[in-house]
A and B are shown apart, each in its own frame.
Chain A
Amino acid sequence: MLRDARDYQIGFLTLFLLIGTLLRDWTLRPEMVATAVVTCIGTQVLLSLAQNKWLRYQRPDPLESAPESLAPVYLNWRSPLISALGLSLLLRADHLSTMALASSLAIASKFFLKSPDKHFFNPANFGIIAVLLLTHDAWVSPGQWGEDLWYGLIFLGAGGLVLKRVGRWDTTVAFLSSYILLEALRNLYLGWTWDVLAHRLMSGSLLLFALFMVTDPRSIPNARPARLLWAGAIALLTFILRNYFYQPDAVFWALFMLSPSTLLLDRLWSARRFEWWVSPQQASALLDG
């Protein structure tokens, strides 16, 4: 078994990318994926090094007299890789530079847009919205996933597995159920047949969002009640943006707009912050305590 839940995420996102490239004639370009991966990881490395330096400069540790080169630098490659895969799956652009910009902004957002100990934008989401706003060259192709039920099942199964390991399945459930409820009510009011609703929901990008983006445990509220409320609010905003402002990429805008509220929600409901792994000492402390 893989030790880090992110390894599962990486595996699944890669699988989706391969399926997309092999089975669907997407406009997926290998050089785009490469650009995203290299830029994301590169930005992470650069900013981590810079941050280390800065921290040391700010708070020189008297005990740590070892030369810098010997100081252990933990290279976090998993998170930027996940962001890169997410961007590759969701974002389309005509120029490589746009993808590079999205990738670097995505990662940079983790370093610069944060409360003392927590970044509150999902990096891939931030990257997507940033280039939609800043450039004239980016778009999201919500239709390109098609609606095959089979696809939905793979997504659900895969996502469920990942989420179970991560322990944030509640946001997915809260988001999807609120969103389905809202769309169902609208469908009822308008008088469309139910296959219209099914078609609206059978969207690969919606599921991808619900399973992999809105669940990112590092950037969403820590306490469960806060998460449920937060996910419900995103569903509502998505619903409004999609149906009344005709935004095809409504989910991404909704998450982006509501992300900062994480800070407020964390203040209202305090809970321990999520860590990808728990050290043995912490674990035993938790068990003992």
Chain B
Amino acid sequence: MNYLRSIFWGLLVAALCLGFAPSAWAFCGFYVAKADTSLYNQASQVIIARNGDRTVLTMANDYQGEVADFAMVVPVPTVLQEEQVHVGDPAIVEHLDAFSAPRLVEYFDPDPCTPVAQYAPLPSNLALSGRAEAEVLAEDALGVTVESSFTVGEYDIVILSARESDGLETWLRQNDYQIPAGASELLRPYIRQGMKFFVAKVNLEEFDRGGFQALRPLQMAYESPRFMLPIRLGMINAQAAQDLVVYLITPDGQAELTNYRTVNVPSNAEIPLFVKEEFSDFYKAMFQTAYEREGRNVAFLEYAWNLAGCDPCAAEPLTPEELRQAGVFWLTQVNTGFRPAPTSNALSNAFVTRLHVRYTRDQFPEDLAFQATSNQQFFQGRYVLRHPYTGEMNCSAGEDYQRSLPERFEQEAQTLANLTGWDISDIRTKLPATVANPIPWWRRLWR
């Protein structure tokens, strides 16, 4: 009854744990250890929702050290009051990550003897997580002013302004923050640009009371013409390249970097089936290869799509409520009395751009600056597995099909080698047998 069988394209996948460094996801400021634990930032996730000058910044990290040692200093463009700071739900960041992660897609070849088809996509998955930090105090002799000081969730937060970087450094040391050597020089440019400092550490009482397993993301809402993300401070205590995934959510279309080049991550490549088992390794190798190839000084676009939909979906789209929690404050409530939740209409004015930046001090001298555009082009990192048809084939088209397979496998192997830098001969050993070897029909009957 093989005529009943046509195609199905399944779709699976894997998510991508972007697996960069499992050790410590970090952030765009620097961590300040209160003990001598050597901490460094390896990666972090930031959501920036922005419409006009209004900005909601969500910083998530996967801090792995002692909670008591956690502290963070981030330059911010304006003084923030207590109600402008919020502790977010890590699940939102995870969901957004899952939704926009590069994906592996599986297709099954149809029986070449029975032309034509249709498909049904299935969902996939992915991974990540996040949080943040804080602390409080003041002295004016140092030229440091505590603009505000409050506790939000498990964080103690101080907003500082300073006249001189030495004073700020001294203040931080006096208040028990262990500043990495050389911080003062890096703080100065921010002070002179009139920026404030958001300093956070964990309030242990609150943390214990909340029974949290990990630190949750910190969110801040402010208005500023500056659409940027400071990364310079974060390089101070990081030896290696750091990974930063930025989700920019803007109303009209893609957001882009204005001071670094953005390159689309390689996509839509057909690769050998065995990659399914090692997708995470594949993505890491591919990303590293692309990063080196582009000169290590570009940002990679991994996803750009209207939040109203996805195709295929790596995860369920975010609900309006989740988007609100992610900082999207401008969604209009289109529903009137009767209609239930606003879905696609209301969401059509939210566009997410996922940028993956792997940065080092020498290649990324400047902080990241962005701009919102009305670019509606969609993009996704997508890798394709095509399963050959293995059923019985009794037609000449079937023979042609089988003869074409070895060449196709070889092509996939070469694509893979080119993308990842893996050894082609290793890859070839993992390819499916190229000899036409159809499964006997009785095996399918009594499997």
Give A residues with C-beta under 8 Å from B.
Answer: 24-25, 27, 92-94, 136-139, 141-148, 189-193, 195-196, 198-200, 203, 245-246, 248
Q: Quick one: given A189-B192, A200-B366, are A145 and B375 in contact (CB under 8 Å)? A: no
Q: How far is the CA of A261 from the CA of B348 in the complex (A)?
A: 43
**Are A144 and B375 neighbours in the complex by a CB distance under 8 Å?**
no
B279 cross-chain contacts in A, Cβ below 8 A: none
Closest chain A residue to B224, Cβ basis: A246
Q: A94-B376, A136-B374, A146-B261 are in contact. List 16 more A-B contacts (CB 8 A).
A: A24-B261, A94-B253, A141-B373, A143-B256, A144-B261, A144-B262, A147-B297, A189-B192, A190-B189, A191-B189, A196-B366, A199-B259, A200-B259, A200-B366, A246-B226, A248-B369
Residues in B whose Cβ lies below 8 Å from that of A24 = 261
Residues of B within 8 A of A25 (CB): 263-264
Which chain B residues (254-292) contact chain A, with CB distance < 8 Å? 256-264
Whole-angstrom distance between the Cβ of B163 and the nearest chain A Cβ:
14
Asked whether any CB of chain A lies closer than 8 Å to the CB of B115, the reply is no
Which of A92, A146, A245 is the most central at the interface, judged by chain B CB atoms within 10 Å of its CB?
A: A146
B343 within 8 A of A: no
Q: How far is the CA of A189 from the CA of B192 in the complex (A)?
A: 8
Total chain B interface residues with beta-carbon distance under 8 A? 34
Closest 5 CB pairs of A and B: A146-B261, A248-B258, A190-B189, A139-B373, A191-B188
Q: Least Cβ distance of A24 to chain B in Å?
A: 7
Residues on B with C-beta less than 8 A from A93 are: 374
**For residue A27, which residues in chain B have a CB less than 8 angstroms away from its CB?**
375, 377
- Which of A139, A147, A191 touches B261 (beta carbons < 8 Å)? A147
B interface list, Cβ under 8 A from A: 165, 185, 188-189, 192-193, 225-228, 252-253, 256-264, 295, 297-298, 362, 365-366, 369, 371, 373-377
Contact pick for A190, options B193, B262, B297, CB 8 Å:
B193
Is A148's CB under 8 angstroms from B295's CB? yes
**A/B interface sample: 10 pairs, CB < 8 A:** A24-B261, A138-B374, A139-B374, A143-B257, A193-B365, A195-B365, A196-B365, A199-B366, A203-B259, A246-B228
Which residues on A sit within 8 Å (CB–CB) of B262?
Answer: 143-144
**Separation of A145 and B258 alpha carbons in the complex (Å):** 10
Picked from B193, B259, B264, the residue with its CB within 8 Å of the CB of A142 is: B259
Which A residues touch B263, using CB under 8 A?
A: 25
Q: What's the Cα separation between A191 and B164 when bound, in Å?
A: 12
Contact residues in A for B377 (Cβ distance below 8 Å): 27, 94
Select B375's contact among A139, A142, A147, beta carbons within 8 Å: A139
* Contact present for A190 and B260 (CB under 8 Å): no
Residues on B with C-beta less than 8 A from A192 are: 189, 365
A142 to B259, CA, bound (A): 7
How many Å lie between the Cα of A83 and that of B146 in the bound state? 53
